[in-house]
Amino acid sequence: MKKHSILTMSCLIAAACQAGLALAADKPHWRYSGPHGPEHWSTLDPEFKVCATGKNQSPINLTAAVEGELAPLALHYRPAGASVVNDGHSVQVNYQPGSYITLDGEPFELKQFHFHTPSENLIQGESFPLEGHFVHADKNGSLAVIAVMFKEGKANQALASIWPHIPTKAGETATLQQPVDASQILPQAQDYYRFSGSLTTPPCSEGVRWLVMKSPQTLSEKQISDLMKIIKHSNNRPVQPLNGRVVVAS
Protein backbone atom coordinates (compact mmCIF):
# COMPACT_ATOMS: atom_id res chain seq x y z
CA MET A 1 0.00 0.00 0.00
CA LYS A 2 1.28 3.51 -0.81
CA LYS A 3 2.19 5.82 2.06
CA HIS A 4 -0.64 8.06 3.17
CA SER A 5 -0.86 11.16 5.30
CA ILE A 6 -2.00 10.73 8.88
CA LEU A 7 -5.40 12.14 7.93
CA THR A 8 -5.78 9.75 5.01
CA MET A 9 -4.82 6.78 7.16
CA SER A 10 -7.27 7.85 9.85
CA CYS A 11 -10.00 7.97 7.24
CA LEU A 12 -9.04 4.52 5.97
CA ILE A 13 -9.25 3.03 9.46
CA ALA A 14 -12.59 4.75 9.99
CA ALA A 15 -13.80 3.24 6.74
CA ALA A 16 -12.71 -0.23 7.77
CA CYS A 17 -14.44 0.15 11.10
CA GLN A 18 -17.84 0.29 9.47
CA ALA A 19 -19.92 -2.79 8.62
CA GLY A 20 -18.81 -4.53 5.47
CA LEU A 21 -15.61 -2.48 5.51
CA ALA A 22 -17.74 0.45 4.37
CA LEU A 23 -17.30 4.17 4.71
CA ALA A 24 -18.90 5.76 7.75
CA ALA A 25 -20.82 8.20 5.60
CA ASP A 26 -22.92 6.63 2.87
CA LYS A 27 -22.32 9.49 0.49
CA PRO A 28 -23.04 8.68 -2.22
CA HIS A 29 -25.25 5.78 -1.30
CA TRP A 30 -24.27 2.32 -2.54
CA ARG A 31 -26.09 -0.98 -2.37
CA TYR A 32 -25.65 -4.65 -3.22
CA SER A 33 -28.08 -4.69 -6.14
CA GLY A 34 -29.70 -2.42 -8.73
CA PRO A 35 -28.26 0.81 -10.15
CA HIS A 36 -26.13 1.33 -7.01
CA GLY A 37 -24.93 -2.29 -6.91
CA PRO A 38 -21.35 -3.65 -7.17
CA GLU A 39 -21.08 -3.37 -10.95
CA HIS A 40 -21.83 0.36 -10.63
CA TRP A 41 -19.82 1.27 -7.51
CA SER A 42 -16.96 2.80 -9.50
CA THR A 43 -19.34 5.25 -11.19
CA LEU A 44 -20.94 6.57 -8.00
CA ASP A 45 -17.99 8.67 -6.84
CA PRO A 46 -14.46 9.36 -8.14
CA GLU A 47 -13.09 7.94 -4.88
CA PHE A 48 -14.69 4.60 -5.78
CA LYS A 49 -12.95 4.22 -9.17
CA VAL A 50 -10.55 1.55 -7.87
CA CYS A 51 -13.57 -0.75 -7.49
CA ALA A 52 -13.27 -1.13 -11.28
CA THR A 53 -9.63 -0.28 -12.02
CA GLY A 54 -7.94 -2.09 -9.13
CA LYS A 55 -5.90 -5.23 -9.85
CA ASN A 56 -5.90 -6.64 -6.31
CA GLN A 57 -9.59 -6.63 -5.46
CA SER A 58 -11.47 -8.77 -2.94
CA PRO A 59 -13.21 -11.15 -2.56
CA ILE A 60 -11.73 -14.00 -4.63
CA ASN A 61 -12.23 -17.68 -5.34
CA LEU A 62 -9.44 -19.45 -3.42
CA THR A 63 -8.16 -22.06 -5.86
CA ALA A 64 -4.75 -23.37 -6.89
CA ALA A 65 -3.13 -22.15 -3.69
CA VAL A 66 0.63 -22.55 -3.31
CA GLU A 67 1.74 -24.38 -0.17
CA GLY A 68 4.02 -22.06 1.77
CA GLU A 69 5.78 -21.50 5.07
CA LEU A 70 3.10 -19.30 6.62
CA ALA A 71 3.65 -18.52 10.27
CA PRO A 72 1.00 -19.81 12.69
CA LEU A 73 -1.61 -17.21 13.58
CA ALA A 74 -0.32 -15.16 16.49
CA LEU A 75 -3.60 -14.26 18.20
CA HIS A 76 -3.67 -12.11 21.30
CA TYR A 77 -7.40 -11.77 21.80
CA ARG A 78 -9.09 -11.26 25.15
CA PRO A 79 -12.71 -10.84 26.20
CA ALA A 80 -13.79 -7.23 25.85
CA GLY A 81 -16.78 -4.94 25.98
CA ALA A 82 -18.49 -4.44 22.67
CA SER A 83 -21.43 -2.89 20.88
CA VAL A 84 -23.37 -4.24 17.91
CA VAL A 85 -24.43 -2.02 15.03
CA ASN A 86 -26.95 -2.49 12.23
CA ASP A 87 -25.88 0.01 9.56
CA GLY A 88 -28.13 -1.27 6.79
CA HIS A 89 -25.27 -2.96 4.96
CA SER A 90 -24.17 -5.46 7.58
CA VAL A 91 -24.17 -6.31 11.28
CA GLN A 92 -20.98 -5.23 12.99
CA VAL A 93 -19.55 -5.78 16.46
CA ASN A 94 -17.23 -2.96 17.58
CA TYR A 95 -14.54 -4.34 19.88
CA GLN A 96 -12.89 -2.38 22.68
CA PRO A 97 -9.07 -1.97 22.46
CA GLY A 98 -6.62 -4.50 23.83
CA SER A 99 -6.85 -7.44 21.41
CA TYR A 100 -4.49 -7.87 18.47
CA ILE A 101 -2.68 -10.22 16.11
CA THR A 102 1.01 -10.15 15.29
CA LEU A 103 1.57 -10.25 11.53
CA ASP A 104 4.83 -9.69 9.67
CA GLY A 105 6.39 -8.70 12.99
CA GLU A 106 3.86 -5.93 13.70
CA PRO A 107 0.81 -5.78 16.00
CA PHE A 108 -2.57 -5.26 14.30
CA GLU A 109 -5.33 -4.29 16.73
CA LEU A 110 -8.77 -5.87 16.38
CA LYS A 111 -11.18 -3.02 15.61
CA GLN A 112 -14.40 -4.86 14.73
CA PHE A 113 -15.92 -7.89 13.13
CA HIS A 114 -18.93 -8.10 10.85
CA PHE A 115 -20.80 -10.56 8.67
CA HIS A 116 -21.64 -11.21 5.03
CA THR A 117 -24.34 -13.60 3.87
CA PRO A 118 -23.71 -15.54 1.75
CA SER A 119 -19.91 -15.65 1.93
CA GLU A 120 -17.88 -13.27 -0.20
CA ASN A 121 -14.74 -15.37 -0.65
CA LEU A 122 -15.17 -18.85 -2.09
CA ILE A 123 -13.03 -21.87 -1.16
CA GLN A 124 -12.46 -24.11 -4.17
CA GLY A 125 -15.60 -22.62 -5.68
CA GLU A 126 -17.72 -23.32 -2.60
CA SER A 127 -19.94 -20.62 -1.14
CA PHE A 128 -20.91 -20.66 2.54
CA PRO A 129 -24.07 -19.30 4.20
CA LEU A 130 -22.08 -16.80 6.26
CA GLU A 131 -18.62 -15.22 6.39
CA GLY A 132 -17.21 -13.23 9.30
CA HIS A 133 -14.54 -10.56 8.77
CA PHE A 134 -12.29 -9.65 11.72
CA VAL A 135 -10.78 -6.27 10.84
CA HIS A 136 -7.41 -5.23 12.28
CA ALA A 137 -5.23 -2.13 11.83
CA ASP A 138 -1.60 -1.43 12.65
CA LYS A 139 -0.18 1.86 13.92
CA ASN A 140 0.17 3.17 10.36
CA GLY A 141 -3.37 2.31 9.32
CA SER A 142 -2.50 -0.78 7.27
CA LEU A 143 -5.30 -3.33 7.45
CA ALA A 144 -5.42 -7.09 7.98
CA VAL A 145 -8.62 -9.15 7.84
CA ILE A 146 -9.16 -12.64 9.20
CA ALA A 147 -12.08 -14.27 7.37
CA VAL A 148 -14.04 -17.17 8.90
CA MET A 149 -16.58 -19.25 6.99
CA PHE A 150 -19.72 -20.64 8.63
CA LYS A 151 -21.72 -23.64 7.42
CA GLU A 152 -25.14 -24.80 8.59
CA GLY A 153 -24.99 -27.27 11.45
CA LYS A 154 -24.79 -27.10 15.20
CA ALA A 155 -25.81 -23.80 16.81
CA ASN A 156 -22.88 -21.47 17.40
CA GLN A 157 -22.69 -20.65 21.10
CA ALA A 158 -20.25 -17.77 20.67
CA LEU A 159 -22.66 -16.02 18.30
CA ALA A 160 -25.66 -16.95 20.45
CA SER A 161 -24.63 -14.30 22.97
CA ILE A 162 -24.69 -11.61 20.25
CA TRP A 163 -27.62 -12.51 17.97
CA PRO A 164 -30.49 -11.56 20.37
CA HIS A 165 -29.08 -8.05 20.75
CA ILE A 166 -28.70 -7.15 17.07
CA PRO A 167 -30.78 -4.02 16.37
CA THR A 168 -33.58 -4.72 13.92
CA LYS A 169 -33.53 -1.22 12.43
CA ALA A 170 -30.73 0.20 10.31
CA GLY A 171 -28.77 2.93 12.06
CA GLU A 172 -29.28 1.55 15.55
CA THR A 173 -26.59 0.44 18.02
CA ALA A 174 -26.89 -1.77 21.08
CA THR A 175 -24.34 -2.13 23.87
CA LEU A 176 -23.69 -5.76 24.77
CA GLN A 177 -24.05 -6.38 28.48
CA GLN A 178 -21.53 -9.24 28.59
CA PRO A 179 -17.95 -9.19 27.29
CA VAL A 180 -17.38 -10.83 23.93
CA ASP A 181 -14.51 -13.27 23.37
CA ALA A 182 -13.64 -13.04 19.69
CA SER A 183 -11.23 -15.97 19.97
CA GLN A 184 -14.20 -18.28 20.53
CA ILE A 185 -15.63 -17.38 17.12
CA LEU A 186 -12.52 -18.52 15.26
CA PRO A 187 -11.98 -22.23 14.51
CA GLN A 188 -9.56 -24.24 16.64
CA ALA A 189 -7.79 -25.54 13.53
CA GLN A 190 -6.06 -22.40 12.31
CA ASP A 191 -4.58 -23.27 8.92
CA TYR A 192 -5.30 -20.44 6.52
CA TYR A 193 -4.93 -18.94 3.06
CA ARG A 194 -3.17 -15.62 2.60
CA PHE A 195 -3.37 -13.12 -0.26
CA SER A 196 -3.20 -9.40 -0.93
CA GLY A 197 -6.58 -7.81 -1.54
CA SER A 198 -8.87 -4.89 -0.86
CA LEU A 199 -11.84 -3.66 1.08
CA THR A 200 -14.92 -5.49 -0.26
CA THR A 201 -17.07 -2.35 -0.29
CA PRO A 202 -16.49 1.19 -1.55
CA PRO A 203 -13.93 2.69 -1.77
CA CYS A 204 -12.41 -0.79 -2.45
CA SER A 205 -8.99 0.40 -1.22
CA GLU A 206 -6.20 -2.10 -1.88
CA GLY A 207 -3.25 -3.18 0.26
CA VAL A 208 -5.36 -5.22 2.70
CA ARG A 209 -3.73 -8.42 4.01
CA TRP A 210 -6.28 -11.23 3.87
CA LEU A 211 -6.09 -14.37 6.02
CA VAL A 212 -8.93 -16.79 5.21
CA MET A 213 -9.35 -19.67 7.64
CA LYS A 214 -9.54 -23.09 5.96
CA SER A 215 -11.83 -24.69 8.56
CA PRO A 216 -15.43 -23.43 8.72
CA GLN A 217 -17.41 -22.96 11.90
CA THR A 218 -21.07 -23.92 12.23
CA LEU A 219 -24.26 -22.07 13.03
CA SER A 220 -27.84 -23.26 13.05
CA GLU A 221 -30.43 -22.75 10.31
CA LYS A 222 -32.32 -20.50 12.74
CA GLN A 223 -29.24 -18.36 13.37
CA ILE A 224 -28.82 -17.93 9.62
CA SER A 225 -32.48 -17.06 9.05
CA ASP A 226 -32.59 -14.69 12.04
CA LEU A 227 -29.67 -12.71 10.62
CA MET A 228 -31.19 -12.63 7.13
CA LYS A 229 -34.46 -11.26 8.56
CA ILE A 230 -32.50 -8.36 10.05
CA ILE A 231 -30.20 -7.60 7.10
CA LYS A 232 -33.07 -8.19 4.63
CA HIS A 233 -30.78 -8.73 1.61
CA SER A 234 -27.66 -10.55 0.51
CA ASN A 235 -24.59 -8.47 1.25
CA ASN A 236 -21.78 -10.16 -0.64
CA ARG A 237 -19.69 -8.58 -3.38
CA PRO A 238 -19.10 -10.97 -6.31
CA VAL A 239 -15.65 -12.57 -6.57
CA GLN A 240 -13.00 -10.56 -8.40
CA PRO A 241 -10.25 -11.60 -10.86
CA LEU A 242 -6.96 -12.83 -9.40
CA ASN A 243 -4.92 -10.90 -11.99
CA GLY A 244 -1.86 -13.04 -11.40
CA ARG A 245 -1.92 -12.89 -7.60
CA VAL A 246 -0.54 -15.84 -5.69
CA VAL A 247 -2.63 -17.38 -2.90
CA VAL A 248 -0.42 -19.01 -0.27
CA ALA A 249 -1.77 -21.78 1.99
CA SER A 250 -0.42 -23.00 5.31
Neighbours of 152 (CB within 10 A): 15
pLDDT at residue 28, rounded to an integer: 73
pLDDT tens-digit series, residues 131-164: 999 999 999 999 999 999 999 999 999 999 999 9
pLDDT tens-digit series, residues 163-206: 999 999 999 999 999 999 999 999 999 999 999 999 999 999 99
What phi, psi does 7 have (nearest 5°)? -65, -45
Pairing of strands 248-249, 66-67: parallel
Is 4 annotated as catalytic? no
Residue 216's nearest CA partner among 71, 118, 139, 83 is: 118
Amino acid at 116: H
1 within some domain: no
70 within some domain: yes
CA–CA dist 210, 222 (Å, integer): 29
Whether the model clears a pTM of 0.95, i.e. scores above it, the answer is no
CB contact at 8 A, 150 and 227: no
Residue 83 pLDDT greater than 70, yes or no: yes
pLDDT tens-digit series, residues 212-240: 999 999 999 999 999 999 999 999 999 99
CA–CA dist 145, 197 (Å, integer): 10
Query: Is 171 exposed, middle or buried (CB count within 10 Å of its CB: 0-12, 13-18, 19+)?
Result: exposed
In the chain, the percentage of residues whose pLDDT exceeds 90 is 87
Neighbours of 219 (CB within 10 A): 25
114 within some domain: yes
| Residue 219 or residue 3, greater confidence | 219
CB contact at 8 A, 199 and 15: yes
- Among 89, 116, 133, 136, the active-site one is 89
pLDDT at residue 235, rounded to an integer: 98
How many domains is the chain partitioned into structurally? 1
Here the CATH number for the domain that contains residue 24 is 3.10.200.10
Please state, in angstroms and as integers, the Cα–Cα distance from residue 13 to each residue in 63, 168, 175, 179, following that order. Answer: 29, 26, 21, 23
CA 93, distance to chain mean position in Å, is: 11
Flag the least confident range among 2-11, 12-21, 62-71, 127-136: 2-11
CB contact at 8 A, 28 and 22: no
Q: What does R_g of the chain's alpha carbons equal in angstroms?
A: 17
Provide the domain limits for residue 122. 6-249
CA 65, distance to chain mean position in Å, is: 21
pLDDT at residue 27, rounded to an integer: 60
Three-state secondary-structure class, residue 25: coil
220 within some domain: yes
Residue 73 pLDDT greater than 70, yes or no: yes
15 within some domain: yes
